[in-house]
Structure 1
């Protein structure tokens, strides 16, 4: 879904008025449908995995939830993706641009869950110990590229929407 969001935002940037009305509008609509379906499947799998992890934790450690950073960030990822899927129910957030922008940035919660927690937070599921390691440059570069892509797409989206 993150890749589909990047492609959709890129379509906004490269679209002109003529191509947006003829081709790109239907393409973005279809990509939105595919992205929503894949987000629904991913959210379901993430939620089931979190519940099964709790059952496994009860068998291993005698409790279902210990507020470990990995468990907590898995829950945060569930909440983030549930919000993205339910944005279409909020009148001010139901546009395709907002959906794709939030889908792209929601992936950051997954990166934090699977990599950030392991190396920066201490807990049962992490490798963090001793001196903290510096944040890799690719994190800042990725956030910068996502922000630039979002701003560029917003500019073109507003320009295409106002010219109708």
Structure 2
């Protein structure tokens, strides 16, 4: 009689403890905002310095459209690197020293003027990959996808 009670009790017991618990999300999505200053010297060499960086919780609504572009010489590549300096994500930044302005000319038509600056500040906003340990900014130097490193910043 005891064994019948045990079988009945076990077979009618709740199955809640048998189901696996959902695995909690280990990392929240992060955004990073980077502000840089870029200078071009007399020999057209570019130097970049980091003004500040802000890491915060969040997710970009849409990815920047230029992620798939290769860029042209003079443009910058922003690369997220892991601990072994492997590229996790990349973003092309149009040359921040070249600004194009539209204005209404004497004939009441829109005209464009391109100005090449010696220095300026620029900002980058991107979804931070969880394994990112550093961010590198490189200048595209030719159409064969060769680039020249300008600055590498550690991300804590």
- TM-score between the two structures when normalised by the length of structure 2: 0.23
Higher helix share: 1
Higher strand share: 2
- Higher RCO, 1 vs 2 (CA within 8 Å, ≥6 residues apart): 1
Larger Rg: 2
